[in-house]
Structure 1
Amino acid sequence: MAGIRALGAGLKELRIHMCQKSPSSQGARDFMESFYVPLKQRNPELPILVRECSEIEPRLWARYGYGAETSVPLSNMNKESIMQKINEFASGPRMR
């Protein structure tokens, strides 16, 4: 699949928070169905955690070395945009 690549050693963990039913989490659910398996196959050592909870804002978290974290909301994003955000996170932390 286009856009699926090895993410590198700088990224220590990805977390995806999403709701099982809300329309704003539809892109995150679509991402999980389409991209999770190929992404995990390309990055077998990278923990990719999925947290489902009712009525939460979908969000993508990236953890780097020394506890540095960054996140971005995923509300109403499509699966390709989410994959693009993951690729951006792979290039290093962007602290806010």
Structure 2
Amino acid sequence: MAWRSQLSKNLKELRFLFCQTSPASAQTREFVRKNYKDLKTLNPKLPILIRECSGTQPQLWARYDMGVERCVRLDGLPEAEINKKLGELVKAGEPMKA
């Protein structure tokens, strides 16, 4: 997972949105709990935002250069799949670097 250290090179901001109590958000909450510290340690200047709101479907948003944003839905995805989706968002930012 060498891409984890590339977050700050390819992204301008990372946002996790999820509900504090819904079963659909349980895996996303667990992913954030387990991985936030590692992601922040490897990318100390990258804003990693956690947004909790009742009734919100779990989502991961990545903001790139020039305000371009991409979203992936995380409804009920296991940790390995969330990791894969995050890796895909990071790799999608490579061609956007100028």
Same fold (TM over 0.5): yes
> Does structure 2 conserve the Cα–Cα contact (< 8 Å) formed by 1:11 and 1:92?
no
Aligned counterpart, 2:6: 7
Aligned counterpart, 2:38: 38
1:39 positional shift: 1.0
Q: Does 1:52 align with 2:52?
A: yes
What amino acid is the match of 1:7? Q
- Counterpart CA distance in 1 for 2:83 and 2:45 is 18
> Does structure 2 conserve the Cα–Cα contact (< 8 Å) formed by 1:31 and 1:80?
no
> Does structure 2 conserve the Cα–Cα contact (< 8 Å) formed by 1:13 and 1:63?
yes
Q: Secondary structure at the match of 1:54?
A: coil
Runs of 4+ more than 3 Å apart: none
- Counterpart CA distance in 2 for 1:81 and 1:47 is 22
Deviates more, 1:74-83 or 1:46-55: 74-83
Aligned counterpart, 1:16: 16
Q: Secondary structure at the match of 2:92?
A: coil
Give me the TM-score of the superposition, normalised by structure 1.
0.88
- Counterpart CA distance in 1 for 2:60 and 2:21 is 17
The CA RMSD measured in Å over matched residues stands at 1.3
Q: How many residues align?
A: 91
Give me the TM-score of the superposition, normalised by structure 2.
0.86
1:66 positional shift: 0.2
Instruction: In structure 1, list runs of 5 or more residues that go unmatched.
Output: none
Question: Among the aligned pairs, what percent are the same residue?
Answer: 43
